[in-house]
Amino acid sequence: MPEKQPSPHLPSDLPTGIELLHNPILNQGTAFTEAERQLLGLCGLLPPRVNTQEIQAQRVVTNFRKKPNDLEKYIYLIDLEDRNENLFYRVVMDNIEEMMPIIYTPTVGQACVEYSHIFRRPRGLYISANDRGNIDRCLQNWPYEDVRMIVVTDGERILGLGDLGAAGMGIPVGKLSLYTACAGIHPATTLPITLDVGTNNEELLNDPQYIGLQQKRVTGDAYDELIEEFVTEVHKCFPRAVIQFEDFANHNAFRLLKEYRDRICTFNDDIQGTASVTLAGLYASLRLTGGKLKDHRFLFLGAGEAGIGIADLIVSAMKEEGVSAKKGREKCWFVDSRGLVVNSRRDLAEHKLPYAHEHEQMATLLEAVQALKPTAIIGVSGQPQTFTQEVVEEMAHLNERPIVFALSNPTSKAECTAEQAYTWTKGQAIFASGSPFDPVTYDGRTYVPGQGNNSYIFPGVGLGVITVASRRVTDSMFMAAAKALSQQVTEEDLELGRIYPPLTKIRAVSANIAAAVAEVAYSEGLTDEPRPYNMLAHVKDLMYHPDYISFV
């Protein structure tokens, strides 16, 4: 066990006794030493034998694997996080491939659906529409002052599951767990927040166990005024915090990003993080297909915040290859719930208009594939099994190495499975998904599908922004993150069909992304911090490790 180290995050009024055991940041359970037990009033409150963190972790993993299903595993781990955060992160970091699908996608989706029924204790802050005029008091109740990373949702569009209201809190909690596990942002500096403005989900409104406001959603000026007060008060209370908007519906996500991105340090992961991880996968795919981005044509299924965000970043990347924005957009096409997005349609939301091209209307994705002959199809629709066998086989007919990205989360919403993509293309597909799929063996060869999950991007971006106290989060940072991620895909990864690094390397990946993002902050004049001699080494020095601290 590593020697216990002093912590910069110890509060000045250190709790003792049972209060200390109920503090998840400081609690070490049976690992408190004899000297610590004497000093901190713990004698008699713990079993007499002192355990190492390693022994504690073994106990946790053994019990975790005995749980009958993934939801029970999720509940077990969240309970551990509420008791002992260092042990929670030790277990997650040492078993990242096994644990990440539990604490985040796909299991977190089921957990949000069941959130009101599995609710144990509050985690994070719930700020409701009834708190208008008093949001500052809510924020001041948070026990930690040095908040650096906030993830906030209003629960209206949770993954591909829709309006879950206050039950969407599982998403900010899960995202911030990944900020810590994947990028080493100290958990005491993170804050999950749910803005409960009601829900239009009738099932929740009629559920007596639902934990949120039992009213229809607040909209219009009242909604905007609540958001404005929230942003203003957060900036006052936690002036060094980054605000990540998460799982807001399209009609709010785009306009809130536009409203606040040049006023505060903020970003929307559904728009920008998804774009960055997808672009990274495309850069890696080019090493298999040859050519440049400008040589490809992209067809999206789904024209919401994820799809438009991806297309916008692809266009920016094409501009670096000498293509105009207009020509770049002409390489990106969309199919939404009403068919191909074309300029003759009169039902298009504003965010779709830049990608509404001159073409005859087509009702189905298959028709669009046959007519447009894309080299890549990208699924961000939240509609399962919409990359049908006919669609995928047509992609294989048109392309020697068709790019098939089924990115919708959770797994139940994926446009196709990895097995379907490889089987229908006779092993030629370059496949990625938003949630994990097991390796697939086809015709004697085993393929390891890449997971185009935002967890490769947002933790490193957040770490980079925090490291240099950047005043803003810019699109250039997400471009740099995409390049940094793609550069960490090895030839061995590509040989396996994997266009993202294995999750076991996620902390190294995040450190490299953070260093790249920090350099952008310096180049764009967004920080006043002195530039370190070695940025990557500086980032790594700041990363949290879940070792127990010494109290004596």
**In the chain, domain spans:** 17-103, 120-264, 272-455, 456-526
Q: How many CB atoms lie within 10 A of CB 44?
A: 8
Q: What is the rounded CA–CA span in Å between residue 155 and residue 144?
A: 24
Output the pLDDT for position 356. Answer: 96
pLDDT value of position 11: 56
- pLDDT digits 0-9 by tens, 310-332: 999 999 999 999 999 999 999 99
The model's pTM is 0.94
State residue 411's pLDDT score. Answer: 86
Amino acid code (one letter) for 82: D
Q: How far is CA 336 from CA 12, 339, 361, in A?
A: 55, 5, 12
Q: Is the distance from CB of 244 to CB of 458 less than 8 angstroms?
A: yes
Query: What pLDDT does 394 receive?
Result: 98
Q: Using the structure block, give the residue that is written with the tokens 């938003």.
A: 434
Report helix, strand and coil shares of the chain as percent, to nearest 5: 50, 10, 40
Place of tokens 């536009």: 258
Please state the CATH superfamily assignment of the domain spanning residues 272-455 in this structure. NAD(P)-binding Rossmann-like Domain (3.40.50.720)
Q: Pick the catalytic residue: 73, 74, 89, 104?
A: 104
pLDDT tens per residue across span 194-209: 999 999 999 999 999 9
The CATH class for the domain spanning 17-103 reads: mainly alpha
CA atoms of 387 and 39, how far apart (whole Å): 62
**pLDDT computed for residue 380 by the predictor:** 95
Is 456 a catalytic site residue?
no
Dihedral through CA 443, CA 445, CA 446, CA 449, nearest 10? -80
Q: Does the active-site annotation cover 210? A: no
Domain 120-264 has CATH 3.40.50.10380: yes
**E strand map for 135-211:** 149-153, 190-196
Q: Do domains 17-103 and 120-264 have the same CATH topology?
A: no
Q: How far apart are CA 413 and CA 384, in angstroms?
A: 4
pLDDT of res. 1: 39
Rounded CA separation 355/519 (Å): 32
Residue 455, CA distances (Å) to 181, 322, 365 in order: 10, 30, 29
* C-beta contacts of 466-469 below 8 A and 24+ residues apart: 466/148, 466/149, 466/185, 466/189, 466/240, 466/242, 467/514, 467/518, 467/538, 467/539, 467/542, 468/518, 468/521, 468/522, 468/526, 468/527, 468/529, 469/240, 469/527, 469/528, 469/529
Question: Which stretches of the chain score pLDDT less than 70?
Answer: 1-12
Annotated catalytic residue, options 89, 126, 175, 413? 175
